[in-house]
Structure 1
Amino acid sequence: MFGKAGRAHGAGHVPLPRSVLVRILSIASAAALTAVSPAGAAEAAGPAVAKFPSGFMWGVSTSGFQSEGSYPDSNWTRYVQRKAAGVKDPYRDSVDFRHRYPGDVRLARGLGANVFRASLEWARIEPRRGVRDQRELAYYDDLVRRIRAAGMRPMLTLDHWVHPGWVADQGAWDNARTPSDWLRHARSMVERYRGQGVIWITFNEASQYIYHETMSRPLNPVQLVTMRNALIRTHRAAYDMIHRVDPGAPVSNNVAYGSVLNGLFDAALFNDVTDKIDFIGIDYYYGASLENVTAVHSLTGEFWRIDPEPDGLYHVLKNYQRRLPHLPVYIVENGMPSDGGRPRPDGYTRADHIRDHLYWVQRALAEGVKVIGYNHWSLTDNYEWGGYRPRFGLYRVDVLTDPALERRPTEGVAAYRSLIANRGVPSGYVPVRRPAWCSIEDPVATCFGRTPAPPAPYRALY
């Protein structure tokens, strides 16, 4: 399913000075006036919607620090302890995935998922330089074993923004020794799980990793550039290493899509490694258009105040595929935060969100985009890099008020299970959210052309 590479929210987003934003918008507007509308984007009503193929990869995503609890010394435990930028809640033991993972793996399999994404936490495995914690290695061994025994494929992230305390003490990515330390650890993990069908992710959302380090350490501009360059070199070396150690295993990184700032997000790592990925990994949470500027709430961390723009995912998929037509595309993260688990004021539900986004993925499939997988972020609520207020989970967990940490299904569980079982939305499905007018994802088609439209009137949310 994965070919060889050709040559060519969980996340916060980067605030920029107004002058920079104005410049970016000006460039985007100029490009819009000269670009060519992508094929199929200006279709009339009544478009074809492809069913997902039988081999499609349906997944759920988790990450170590956000969900495991019982976390050892690391850059992020230190940020929480000293209440760095954006930290509002104590970490406690998060949702205690570390001790409840067998049940969570069963929940994922109960959805019909065939991919389970988790991270191998360097801080847990190597709490001191050269000292590997055998108990924690046994935990990851059993996690991978259970994922595979449940009929799911492991997607393993080697770095989800967290490194050991001793790495932080040596200057993290400022230190020229850190890339070799990271690669030594990564190689040991790839050797341990080679031949087990793993899909490897090197660095989760490099742009947001750099952003959080910039805000939390903080980094000065020189350190920021040093970290960026180190991540690029390390990913490139990791790609080659993984293909030597685990031949045939697909390798990529997942890029955070960032609306008007996407050029900057891609520049963090993605643009410099497109010859060292086997698939395009995309994380899509929100878009932006002239009638929907609520993405600005990402700058304050109030993600639940953003109005979802499902059709933006269609444009994003087409744009990335056009840039790298030889590679397949995997949606590594997609989800919707609620405000502390409360319903949205407009009535839009997690089930609506999943169905609407997958409708537009099916539209992209019908128009030739090689989408091979989709992961919902996340299986359960978790620690969203400073707090428990944003809730992304298919299963709700009230960390601050429920000592039992009970997993309670949201309406998204039944919806996602049905979509997997039926290989997508049913024929004639009408998205709850109408397509945006003048979307930043494809301004030519949506400002000056005909917006892709469902075949029937919209349900009233506006």
Structure 2
Amino acid sequence: MNMRLWVLVVSVVLAGVLCGPTQAGAAVPPLGSDFEFGVAQAGFQSEGHNRDSNWVRYGDQGKVRQKVGNSVDFYHRYLQDIARAKALGVRIYRTSVEWSRVQPRPGRFDDVGWAFYDRVIRAVVDAGMRPMITLNHWVHPGWEVDRGGWNRTGMADDMVAFGTRVADRYSWADPLWITFNEPTEYVRRELMYGGVRPENATRMVDGIIDAHRRLYRHIHAVQPGAEVSTNMAYFPVPGLGPWLEGLFPERLRDSMDFIGVDNYYSLSVTDLSVALAATGELWKASQAPESIYYVLRHLAGRYPGVPIRIIEAGMAGAPNGVRPDGYRRGDHLWDTVYWVQRARQDGVTVISFNYWSITDNYEWGDYGPRFGLYSVDVHHDRSLTRTPTDAVAGYRQITRQGGVPTGYRPTRLPVACSLVSVPDSCRYPAVVR
């Protein structure tokens, strides 16, 4: 071997030793270094120590199965939960500012309420994460209920007055913004519990759209480069999705910096168990994680050129922590991220993923369904201990390597001809590669 060849061989060997295999051609992260993983929660569902609101009243009036009580007491444990999120390696922490906490009476904003959210947003930023702030997560103050709520047109003005104060106070943190969480579901639940009379449903829809547009303009004025949107609940019912999109996303095309979407359940000709979600036993509805792939593909076609953020995705666990079908939270998380990667590889501009939720919490009238990366037994554990599920270690690995590794295969094969998106899913079915 001549000297020049010997030097070349030694150089290659040393490069492999010093730089490691990833430098030599292995590996851009599966989702790319710009992809953002996150966790999500909502103020009313997790904080406890709530003030008078429509949802406090629904509990007091017996319109839901259980009162919220003090939930998982995020109000006093926010530092520990934010630290848990940081340890996961996520870059986004979604929460909400509870309107009734900062404005307990008309015309009066409360310094103590603001101080709590000041501490929360500061803690998120100091932990190296970007806040995603939701302005309305289905909850409004009791004094608004007394005024008529969304039955009156002035509700939009009040919502804008509140939202502009939040934006002015926290624009320094460069948060992502969700104006209204799942607005179609907000309307449906207000109708179901009597907060809005049927003849005023359109007034509520129009009021939300008006408030969103005004808040969109204000946020961009005080936070240059802001990203503002709302998030749709994607229902896996044929024909229903496009109609629901027509209520809000289609009318808000000019005021959405990204498409926000929530997806939990699937539906197929051979599996109609999603109907069990209507009974409150959400953990009995089977899961088909490839549904997120169909949802993303559908939205990319409907809103070309607009980036997509998954605001919520997760799996309902049973009250005892064990689903009847044996599907584990960690496996569901990995399977879901696999299909997000597949969508991105197929050209869908999906740029972030939030897991719902960081801990178990109040599932809108019930503590039965478990959605948390950390389990909390509100009924039987007065200490409200956060117990990690198997998904905690899994999520850490996913965030560390930028997705699931090449060669990963979902634990469940995709169902044939999913009804989540027809006829698209039948003509171009999801295929494991």
Q: Same fold (TM over 0.5)?
A: yes
Q: Structure 1 residues 191 and 219 mapped into 2: Cα distance closer, same or farther (>3 Å)? A: closer
Tell me the CA shift for residue 220 of structure 1. 3.1
* 1:394 alignment partner, one of 366, 373, 378: 373
* Matches for 1:7-406 after TM superposition, within 5 Å: 51-84=30-63, 87-260=64-237, 261-406=240-385
AA aligned to 1:319 is H
Which SS does the other structure have where 2:114 is aligned?
helix
Asked if the contact 1:290/1:438 (under 8 Å) is kept, the reply is yes
Show CA shifts across 1:307-353 (max 9, x none).
Answer: 11111111110110111112100000001011114211222100111
Aligned partner of 2:11 in structure 1 is none
Which SS does the other structure have where 2:83 is aligned?
helix
* 1:440 alignment partner, one of 410, 413, 419: 419
Show CA shifts across 1:189-239 (max 9, x none).
Answer: 111111322001000000110111111125332111111111111111111
AA aligned to 2:432 is P
Query: In the aligned structure 1, how far is the partner of 2:58 from the partner of 2:243?
Result: 25
| Structure 1 residues not aligned, in runs of 5+ | 1-48, 456-462
Aligned partner of 2:399 in structure 1 is 420
Asked if the contact 1:254/1:280 (under 8 Å) is kept, the reply is yes
AA aligned to 1:454 is V
| Structure 2 residues not aligned, in runs of 5+ | 1-27
Tell me the CA shift for residue 274 of structure 1. 1.4
Aligned partner of 1:451 in structure 2 is 429
Tell me the CA shift for residue 450 of structure 1. 5.5
Asked if the contact 1:50/1:366 (under 8 Å) is kept, the reply is no
Aligned partner of 1:26 in structure 2 is none
Tell me the CA shift for residue 269 of structure 1. 1.6
Query: In the aligned structure 2, how far is the partner of 1:268 from the partner of 1:76?
Result: 24
Which SS does the other structure have where 2:30 is aligned?
coil
AA aligned to 1:362 is Q
Show CA shifts across 1:91-149 (max 9, x none).
Answer: 22000001110000000001001110000111100000111110110110111111000
Asked if the contact 2:151/2:203 (under 8 Å) is kept, the reply is yes
TM-score (norm 2): 0.91
Asked if the contact 2:152/2:203 (under 8 Å) is kept, the reply is no
Structure number, greater radius of gyration: 2
Which SS does the other structure have where 1:427 is aligned?
coil
Query: In the aligned structure 2, how far is the partner of 1:220 from the partner of 1:171?
Result: 10
Higher relative contact order (CA 8 A, sep 6+): 1
TM-score (norm 1): 0.85
Aligned partner of 1:19 in structure 2 is none
Paired-residue identity, %: 43
Query: In the aligned structure 1, how far is the partner of 2:383 from the partner of 2:106?
Result: 35
Show CA shifts across 1:415-449 (max 9, x none).
Answer: 111111111111111111211111123333543x4
Give the paired residue count: 404
Asked if the contact 2:228/2:257 (under 8 Å) is kept, the reply is yes
